[in-house]
Structure 1
């Protein structure tokens, strides 16, 4: 004997599935948000543990933190604006062309710019910029600091050769925290 489901059960099942989909979507968005919250915190702390070789007349200049390409941080970097690192005031910038990156001290290279990575790294190296990205193998490709994910943990690699080529000095405490240092 086949039992027929009451009319309310398919509708209830649909509502339950819809509710679960919203919960899982919200959880996935929260995971991405918390991932980029952590990356934003790392980004700010990198400015505190990396030194730029400057002439005495440049000692009090602002520190421009630039996001090049699509901005995965959205509003998460806003609290960094106006903060201080090594006596320099941090300003956020969002250049759209390589030529607009010349006054950046730190450049976060978005994954949307992976195709142009060799050009970006060359331009950043010529301008003594700290480059940071979550593009896979970023540090191995010549970037200074690359985010890596180990399981559910966000870590970073440091390319010491790239840092030295960009006239950057990385504090030993930051080097100790890196999952890998490329020399």
Structure 2
């Protein structure tokens, strides 16, 4: 367990250092969440038949809490696929998203958004809304004290046709099976 915690801490620090600006000395909550978001793309396998020539679309829906923290991800490779950031403004525009971050402003629409994502299959849903994985989401950020962690619904991932690497499952604070 201690080795996993060390791994998590080093992973978060290395990713947040690469994503954050050089002058910042304290990592904000959303710097850590942005680092995790990138890491999720590295440890989830999509079974929808996409090839490395197709971009991996990371969509942020609702109020955008990351500011420019995700900008370094644009064009970066993950599992051989180029990351493409999208900011859909209407529900219909989330079609084609591989990763869908649902912002806090969408708490009233979360059920509708999750149903749409589930109907598309192959969409990794991520949010920091309370009880997100119990509502059908796949990855939910949780705060434990001052530490940002995440929980995973393995059941929802399997239903979406996604395979989550066991290393990522080990780092989750909770896994719903």
Same structural fold, with TM-score higher than 0.5 when normalized by the shorter chain: yes
Q: Distance in 2 between matches of 1:167 and 1:150?
A: 29
Show structure 2 runs of 5+ residues with no match: 1-23
Query: Contact (CA 8 Å) 2:48, 2:161: kept in 1 or not?
Result: no
1:136 counterpart residue number: 130
Show structure 1 runs of 5+ residues with no match: 1-29
Distance 1:147 1:170, change over 3 A: same
- The structure having more radius of gyration, on CA atoms, is 1
Large movers: runs of 4+ above 2 Å? none
More helix by share: 1
1:180 counterpart residue number: 174
The CA deviation string for residues 17-53 of structure 1, in whole angstroms up to 9 with x for no partner, is xxxxxxxxxxxxx8x9710000000000000000100
Aligned-pair RMSD on alpha carbons?
A: 1.6
Further displaced range: 122-131 or 71-80: 122-131
- TM-score for both structures, normalised by structure 2: 0.83
- TM-score for both structures, normalised by structure 1: 0.80
Distance 1:33 1:69, change over 3 A: farther
Q: How do 1:30-69 and structure 2 match up within 5 A?
A: 34-55=28-49, 58-60=50-52, 61-69=54-62
For the pair 1:94 / 2:87, whether they are aligned, the reply is yes
